[in-house]
Amino acid sequence: MQKIIISLICCLLPTFAFADTVKIHDNAPDSHIVVKGDTLWDISAKFFKDPWKWPQIWGLNKDSIKNPHWIYPGDVVHLDRASGTLHLGKIIKNKAGQSDSVKLSPRVYVQSSEHNAIPSIPARAIEPFLSRPLIIEEDGLSNAPTIVGTLEKRVLLATGDIAYVKGLSEDQGLLWQIYRPGKTLLDPENNKVLGYEAVYLGDAEVEKFADISTLKIVKALNDINKGDRLIQASSEFAGSYVPRTPDSQIAARVISIYAGVSQAGQHSIVTLNKGLRDGLENGHVLALYRKGDVTKENGETLTLPDVRYGLLFVFRSFDKVAYALVMRTRLPVQLLDNALTP
């Protein structure tokens, strides 16, 4: 079924307000034809050195554009070098049968699905982190439903096995995810507990509600045991977030790298020690910094300036911590590196 999606291309900003804040690549093309697999970040980066400066680059009112499903494969992105903005067009055939492009004015798009739209960042890289909590606030699992027994007294549960759970309620639905408390996340600034990385074990579906409910393991990624906890399954979708700089000065640290490694590269997931309570929101872009080396010169100890080496894109904020995707880096991201407002 076709779905009408209203294009929210509007509110061009005055040229003088941002002309000196965006830098066009010397070899930037005049236009780019959007293809499947493109992202808004990548498209912006073809033209500009600062692809996260979203309102300036696309000439949009960021307060109006919350979920920009308005760019599709086949659209043509034009660079206006005078104003430092990008505009959309379409490929059309002229009378001679040659391909031309035309600029689009605000209009209604008719598309088969908004999922055909180009996302802001690589959706596949973050989808698992949207559908699973993975970070549990302090005491978040202490009162969660618990596996208290197994059919035929199995020690380890796998896909298709039956488990018995205490604490389930019918009003919370049939679908659940199974977790085990994992690594403790400590704030390096004061050593306080910020939360826990929960180990995702698999999915389960309730077959019968009771004081001790019966459920079936429908997917097991790891061995499941008595004592493991259940959390309601999430249905969040990897939407098209608007990249933007925080409204305030954020000074965060990298406190964890997904999969337990000590270094991260492009499109890796890291955890920051700041969250919603600190003003860090989905879509915020932060710059990565490495502490400057300490050296000696003529017997004098010198600390070299901190090195800015990459960018992070925050895509899921909790109260005290946040997930971020490494968008650009020229050095390996390391634990305790700084992430600051650009």
In the prediction, which pLDDT does 215 show? 93
In the prediction, which pLDDT does 50 show? 87
Please report which residue ranges of the chain form alpha helices under DSSP H. 40-47, 54-58, 123-131
Q: Residue 148: in which H helix or E strand, if any?
A: strand 146-150
Please state, as a whole number, how many other Cβ atoms lie within 10 Å of the Cβ of residue 154: 15
Distance CA 271, CA 266 (A): 14
- Divide the 342 residues of the chain into consecutive groups of 10 and give the mean pLDDT of each group: 31 36 87 88 89 75 54 87 82 50 43 64 78 73 89 88 92 90 90 88 94 94 91 63 86 89 88 95 93 84 90 92 92 95 92
In the prediction, which pLDDT does 167 show? 92
Instruction: Tell me the CA distances in angstroms from 85 to 16, 21, 30, one per residue in order.
Output: 12, 11, 11
All residues at 6 or more sequence positions from 250 whose CB lies less than 8 Å from its CB, including other chains = 274, 278, 279, 280, 284, 286, 339, 340, 341
Distance CA 240, CA 74 (A): 18
Tokens of 284: 């915020």
| Residue whose token pair is 């180990």 | 199
Please report which residue ranges of 48-158 form alpha helices under DSSP H. 54-58, 123-131
In the prediction, which pLDDT does 60 show? 65
In the prediction, which pLDDT does 218 show? 95
In the prediction, which pLDDT does 107 show? 39
Closest by CA to 193, choosing from 255, 238, 133, 144, is 255
Residue 99's region, left for phi above 0, alpha for psi from -120 to 50, else beta, is beta
| Residue whose token pair is 């925050």 | 314
Distance CA 257, CA 239 (A): 23
